Amino acid sequence: MSQPDFQAMSRKELHTYVLTHRDDKDAFYAYVDKLHAEATWIEMPALQSVEDLENYPEFLESLRKSAESRDNAV
């Protein structure tokens, strides 16, 4: 059986493939590489309290937008 073209897959397609083929290490590494290349995460130091979130308004805004897009998709 030939292996799919992981580079041609979208992140969502690759995510689904990895979940259904959990033993496929090549797919997993391709998925991690794609996540790293897209770099959609926000890095921030560990919070000491919930109030520390107020120091990261751009993070809170991204959470709000993400929640709104999920709510609108349903």
Is this prediction's pTM over 0.75?
no
Mean pLDDT by 10 residues, the chain (74 residues): 88 95 96 88 80 85 85 70
- Predicted pLDDT at 14: 95
The letter for the amino acid at 49 is S
Where do the structural domains in the chain lie, given as residue ranges? 6-38, 44-74
Burial 4-18 (b: 16+ CB within 10 A, else e): bebeebeeeebeebb
Residues 6+ apart with CB under 8 A from 24: 17, 18
Residues 6+ apart with CB under 8 A from 62: 42
